[in-house]
C-alpha cells in the first residue's frame, strides 16, 4: 500500500498537535505520559516532534485522556488557522475530517 504524501497543511497540523501535547505534558516525563497512555516513549516523541504527524485516532484519544484534554480541544487547537484546500464549503466539520483516512493508518 502506497501512502499519499502529506500536504504542507497536514504536516503543520501534525506539528501543532505535537506542540499541544508537549505543552499539556508540562513537567511530566515523556516516559510517564507514554506509559499511562499505553504507548512507547518513542511513539510519543515522534508525535511531539511532528515526525508522526498523523497518529491513529485511538493514540490521540489515549494521550488526550492521560493529559486531561478533551478531543474537542485537541481537534480545535491542532488545526492550522487556514482551512485545507477544498474543505471550506462545509466549515469546521469538513476541516475536522480532512485527512481522516490517514489518521487510522
Provide the 10 A C-beta neighbour count for residue 7: 13
**Confidence (pLDDT) at 2:** 87
**Confidence (pLDDT) at 85:** 52
**Confidence (pLDDT) at 90:** 40
Candidates 6, 19, 7; CA nearest to 78 is 19
Low-confidence ranges of the chain (pLDDT < 70): 83-105
**Residue 103 CB contacts under 8 Å (≥ 6 apart), including other chains:** 54, 55, 56, 57, 60
**Confidence (pLDDT) at 93:** 41
**Confidence (pLDDT) at 1:** 80
**Confidence (pLDDT) at 87:** 54
**Confidence (pLDDT) at 105:** 38
**Confidence (pLDDT) at 86:** 54
**Confidence (pLDDT) at 3:** 84
Amino acid at each position: 500500500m502506497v501512502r499519499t504524501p502529506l500536504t504542507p497543511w497536514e504536516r503543520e497540523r501534525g506539528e501543532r498537535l505535537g506542540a499541544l501535547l508537549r505543552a499539556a505534558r508540562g513537567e511530566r516525563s515523556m516516559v510517564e505520559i507514554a506509559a499511562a497512555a499505553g504507548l512507547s516513549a518513542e511513539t510519543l516523541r515522534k508525535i511531539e516532534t511532528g515526525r508522526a504527524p498523523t497518529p491513529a485516532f485511538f493514540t490521540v484519544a489515549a494521550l488526550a485522556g492521560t493529559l486531561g484534554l478533551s478531543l474537542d480541544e485537541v481537534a480545535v487547537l491542532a488545526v492550522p488557522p487556514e482551512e485545507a484546500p477544498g474543505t471550506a464549503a462545509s466549515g469546521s466539520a469538513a476541516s475536522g475530517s480532512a485527512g481522516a483516512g490517514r489518521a487510522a493508518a
